[in-house]
Structure 1
Amino acid sequence: MSVDLWDGALIDARIWHARSGDVARSFRYRAVYAALPLPALEAGVLPLRLDRRGLWRIRRRDLGWRDGRGPGEFIGAILRPVGLGGADVTLVTLPRSLGHGFNPVSFWLARDGQGLRAVLAEVSNTFGERHLYLCRHADNRVIAEADRMVAEKLFHVSPFLPRSGRYEFRFDARPGRFGAWIDWFGEAGDLRLQTSMTGRARPLTAGSLRGAMLRHPFQGLKVTGLIHWQALQLALRGVRYSRKPRQLDRSMSEAQQRGADRDV
């Protein structure tokens, strides 16, 4: 039976990055993400509980406003002004492991009875900064699996890529799986970086969580280590290192369908 992400799930994700243009390089790795329906998360009835200690941990301070306020309050304040305040939300995120946590991107998925209406991509960098990309149609119609949502790149992530160009987002949140694709196009409109996170979903239970924690106790450190290892490989191949610019004051922008009017 297919597992619905809004019922709670573990996602056995395959993450892929492929760079082209100045240097052609790609790498893959695996990680286990959690899909956490917000009502159950805030009620404390999921095997993963907010701010509860353990091999894996979900902390309020790692998400949303990062000041201790609840995740439901955070995402509600973003969805209500665009007419999606009544949507059901589940959070796809990488838990902390053994006290260490770095999550390049978390996805807040908002749907109603008809389908997926919005995705908030919460993108973080290794400097402790983040930017929110709200992906939706201007009329809030259902986001189909083939829809590409476009946003200007406004956030510095990698010292080996400029803060310019555009992102194209695509999502698949059907029962039994999760997929997110984020492509980066340079200022000339050329595709320079492709990334994806795809995987099958399985039930989130005390037993499945325990097994995942025991098999992947260090995945937070693994993700951070892989990011620095790939940075070293790019540096050794002569890719120019750029100093981190001062982040823009704007912390959220919208991504809407390619070819449509959009506010980014």
Structure 2
Amino acid sequence: MRSQWLEGTIRHRRLSPINHQFQYGTGMLALNLNEWNSVTGLSPLFSLERFNWLGLKRADYLNPADGSLRDAVSDYVREATGWVPDGPIELITHPRYFGYVFNPVSFYFCYEAGDDPLQGAVPRVILAQITNTPWKERHVYCLQPKGGLANGSGWRTERFTFKKQFHVSPFNGMDQTYQWVFSFRGDELRIHMNVLEQYQKQFDSTLVVQRTPLTRTVLHRSLRRFPIEAIKVTAGIYWNALRLKLKGAPFYTHPDKLER
């Protein structure tokens, strides 16, 4: 099996106008989409399209939801870039826990034929599927790495700067710029996101994880360590939103409500 389990930490920091930060441990799937229909065979506690301790549901990901996810990703990439993915496609995501899921962001790493994500290969295209809270709307950013060489420490780093196009948080306005940094080295992955407003950093988020082969033992161990991962993420977002509100952070209305 080529799918992996990712384990590490996520840190969020708000730097302006209110200083605030929190960090928590996390576990995620790096699912090879060719194994979408077979990965749940690892454990009777892991199911596809039905309730279980752990699960995957096609409707949680890229449309159209009535076809294969690999085909949907390939079609999106082809329309956006002109390239048809011919190698592995990995979905980096939180699975459903007890039927519940919330993924602030899921990534699709699209590799060229012959590239091995387990050896630190850099994707040719990265799709970032953003889901906002509490509206559960989605938006996809398409990023194209340049394939730079590794630095002296062995890290291969890709940097992207682009304008924000989608309302994510009531504590962030729309006139912002994103700086995203993806770093790959062997079985290690780092994703760092800066949010800038008028050239000043307002917020950043850092995911640091390490890959391990996805086996029944690893899956069951993760269930003991992260039994309610999705609920924890959502509760953390709302709890820290309350703390920000109490600290006096400015509140931004959803743009659609402003238009009405």
TM-score normalised to structure 2 length = 0.85
Query: Which whole-Å CA distance do the structure 2 matches of 1:65 and 1:143 have between them?
Result: 31
Given candidates 16, 20, 28, the residue that maps to 1:25 is 20
1:130 is matched with which residue?
138
**1:180, 1:197 within 8 Å by CA — same for their partners in 2?**
yes
Identical positions, percent: 26
- Name the amino acid aligned to 1:228: Y
Higher relative contact order (CA 8 A, sep 6+): 1
| SS of residue matched to 2:158 | coil
Q: Which ranges in structure 1 are unaligned for 5 or more consecutive residues?
A: 1-5, 248-264
- Which amino acid is 1:50 matched to? L
CA shift, 1:129, in A, is 0.3
Report how far residue 196 of structure 1 moved. 1.0
**Is the 2:7–2:210 contact (alpha carbons within 8 Å) kept by the matching residues of 1?**
yes
C-alpha spacing 1:22/1:124, structure 2 compared with 1 (3 Å): same
* 1-structure distance, mates of 2:159, 2:41: 32
AA aligned opposite 1:227: I
1:39 maps onto 2:34 in alignment: yes
For residue 147 of structure 1, report the CA deviation from its aligned partner: 2.6
Contact 1:10 1:204 in 2 (8 A): yes
Does the 8 Å CA contact 1:11/1:33 hold for their aligned counterparts?
A: yes
- 1:259 aligns to what? none
Equivalent-residue separation in structure 1 for 2:34 and 2:6 (angstroms): 19
Match of 2:208 in 1: 198
| Counterpart Cα distance in 2 of 1:143 and 1:53 | 43
2:109 is matched with 109
Looking at structure 1, the residues matched to 58 and 101 of structure 2 have their Cα atoms a distance apart, in angstroms, of 12
Q: Kindly tell me: are residues 45 and 33 of structure 1, through their superposed partners in 2, closer, same or farther at Cα, counting changes over 3 Å?
A: closer
Which of the numbers 16, 20, 23 marks the counterpart of 2:11?
A: 16
Give the drift of 1:152: 0.8
5 Å-filtered alignment, 1:14-163, equals 14-43=9-38, 47=42, 50-65=48-63, 67-81=65-79, 82=81, 83-112=83-112, 113=114, 115-116=121-122, 117-126=124-133, 127-137=135-145, 141-142=146-147, 145-163=156-174
After TM superposition, the score normalised by the length of structure 1 is 0.83
Are the equivalent residues in 1 in contact too, given 2:75–2:84 (CA < 8 A)? no
CA contact (8 A) 2:127 2:141 kept: yes
In the TM superposition, residue 49 of structure 1 has moved relative to its aligned partner by 5.3
**2:193 aligned with 1:182, yes or no?**
yes
Q: What amino acid does structure 1 have at the position aligned with 2:6?
A: I
In structure 2, how many angstroms separate the alpha carbons of the residues matched to 1:171 and 1:31? 18
Structure 2 segments unaligned to the other structure (5+ residues): 116-120, 150-155
Instruction: Give the partner amino acid of 2:163.
Output: E
3-state DSSP of counterpart to 1:233: helix
